[in-house]
Structure 1
Amino acid sequence: MPGVPDAKVLVVTGTGTEIGKTVTTAAVAAVAVRAGRSVAVLKPAQTGLAPGEPGDADEVARLAGGAVTPVELARYPEPLAPGTAAARAGLAPVRPAEVAEAALELAASHDLVLVEGAGGLLVHFDAEGASLADAARLLGAPVLVVAQAGLGTLNSVQLTAEALRARGLAQAGVVIGSWPREPGLAERCNVGDLPRVAGAPLVGAVPAGAGALPAAAFRARAAQWLGAELGGSWDGEEFARRAG
């Protein structure tokens, strides 16, 4: 697996929406900032927000610290897939080449660039079906997969992993984006099954509600939620033992 703490660009995707992708991105950024690295977060397409409203990149910067540079390439008002939202708004779609160019430009002045997608890996950017996967391929960057904890996650993680392998993309591991305070049987079993179906290690688990913490508390705790692969101190073996 790529040495993520030393990577210049890391693409962050999810297996769906509302699963903790932005909070996970913020945790990765916070750990990097605490290690003395300059960080930029790039959101290729933000949907469902009006002009002037804080977007996902702004939320990452708020949680991780003012040293993070937030960049958004395109914004569409309706909460839809970027390609659909762009078409309905009569606006130009974002293209993978634009994403790659912006990420490389940021990488020239930052130690780490986090590219946070919208929804899942293959959500369409445009009418031709271009996606975050195409941008990752242009960048040659590893992809971190943020997944749900409960029922249904194994199928979506395996499908995402297969899509990554089919495109020759390196997977930087799986992070559970919202680990419940009182996990049920499915969540506990999934801890052991996720690495197997992903073909990549479980490299973190962010507790549910972490994004609601005061920013200072979030930054202080972020390393406890991420494994050494992401620069943190989270112990995957101990987590699996406790979950079992």
Structure 2
Amino acid sequence: MSAIVVTGTDTEIGKTVFAAALTGALGASYWKPVQAGTDEQGHGDAETVAGLSGRPVLSCAYRLNTPCSPHRAAEIDGVEIGLDRLALPQVDGPLVAEGAGGVLVPVTRELLFADLFAHWGRPVVLVARTGLGTINHSLLSIEALRSRGVAVLGVAFVGDAVEDSEATIAAIGGVKRLGRLPRLTRLNRETLAEAFAANFRIEDFR
């Protein structure tokens, strides 16, 4: 099994949409170990990825009600998150695993997502927005991952092109600039696949 971890510099930056695009492009299965909060229909990121990728989606290890950091959502729900249930699932073919929020979001009060990624020992794609503040957020995230021995495959940007910020992050962070996914006016499986193919090289993820 080959697995790629998708994480972000923050929440609500387009990480799940990128994860869906990557899942579809690789013909992969998708897994989000912890889902905290859902929409009015009870849908979380897994349902979003399923609709946008058309690929198999594995059940979350933990599906929590409150839309906040997993450690707190679990406490509110009276759930104890255990590392044994957070092992990467075994699947035929590639797997895309998505964290929640940023790299230092707590899974529990003793475990951060960056620590979990280090435990998995799989390469990470960092998703970063292109707006103001992204240089600081991205470089801090890269530093946090590398300090734990996590391999950073590269940075995938989301948003309007900001050439200097993207180039600066890649140069100072010493990371590969994988591409940039534009915000799509019409977001569906077809438009997302087309945007990914036009802006990324699938070879960079294999």
Q: Same fold (TM over 0.5)?
A: yes
Question: Which residue identity is paired with 1:213?
Answer: L
**Any residues of structure 2 matched to 1:110-121 within 5 Å, and which?**
110-121=92-103
Q: How many matched pairs? A: 205
Q: Which residue of 1 aligns with 2:204?
A: 229
Equivalents in 2 of 1:134, 1:51: separation in Å? 32
Q: Which residue of 2 aligns with 1:98?
A: 85
**Contact preservation (8 Å) 2:182, 2:195:** no
Once the two structures are superposed, what CA deviation does each residue of 1:151-193 show, in whole Å capped at 9, x if it has no partner?
A: 111111111111111111100100012x22xx5xxx2321211
Larger radius of gyration: 1
SS in structure 2 opposite 1:68?
coil
Q: Runs of at least 4 residues of structure 1 off by over 3 A?
A: none
**Contact preservation (8 Å) 1:61, 1:70:** no
- What is the CA-CA distance between 1:50 and the residue it aligns to? 6.6
Q: What is the CA RMSD across the aligned residues, in angstroms?
A: 2.0
**Contact preservation (8 Å) 1:12, 1:116:** yes
Matched, 1:196 2:185: no
Q: Select the structure that is richer in helix.
A: 1
Identity of aligned residues (%): 33
| Aligned match for 1:82, one of 70, 76, 82 | 70
- What is the CA-CA distance between 1:49 and the residue it aligns to? 1.7
Matched, 1:137 2:118: yes
**Any residues of structure 2 matched to 1:170-185 within 5 Å, and which?**
170-177=151-158, 179-180=159-160, 183=161
Structure 1: gaps (5+ residues): 1-6, 34-38, 232-244
**Contact preservation (8 Å) 2:37, 2:44:** no
Q: Which residue of 2 aligns with 1:241?
A: none
TM-score for the superposition, normalised by structure 1: 0.77
**Contact preservation (8 Å) 1:27, 1:223:** no
Once the two structures are superposed, what CA deviation does each residue of 1:68-117 show, in whole Å capped at 9, x if it has no partner?
A: 23331112211110001111221222x444222xx2x33xx321111101
Question: Does the C-alpha gap of structure 1 residues 146 and 50 become closer, same or farther in structure 2, counting only changes over 3 Å?
Answer: closer
Matched, 1:32 2:26: yes
Equivalents in 2 of 1:172, 1:96: separation in Å? 24
Q: Which residue of 2 aligns with 1:19?
A: 13
Question: Does the C-alpha gap of structure 1 residues 143 and 96 become closer, same or farther in structure 2, counting only changes over 3 Å?
Answer: farther
Equivalents in 2 of 1:127, 1:139: separation in Å? 19
**Contact preservation (8 Å) 1:97, 1:138:** no
Question: Does the C-alpha gap of structure 1 residues 68 and 17 become closer, same or farther in structure 2, counting only changes over 3 Å?
Answer: same
- What is the CA-CA distance between 1:127 and the residue it aligns to? 2.0
Q: Which residue of 1 aligns with 2:44?
A: 55
Structure 2: gaps (5+ residues): none
| Aligned match for 1:213, one of 168, 187, 200 | 187
Equivalents in 2 of 1:97, 1:171: separation in Å? 24
Question: Does the C-alpha gap of structure 1 residues 48 and 86 become closer, same or farther in structure 2, counting only changes over 3 Å?
Answer: same
SS in structure 2 opposite 1:196?
helix
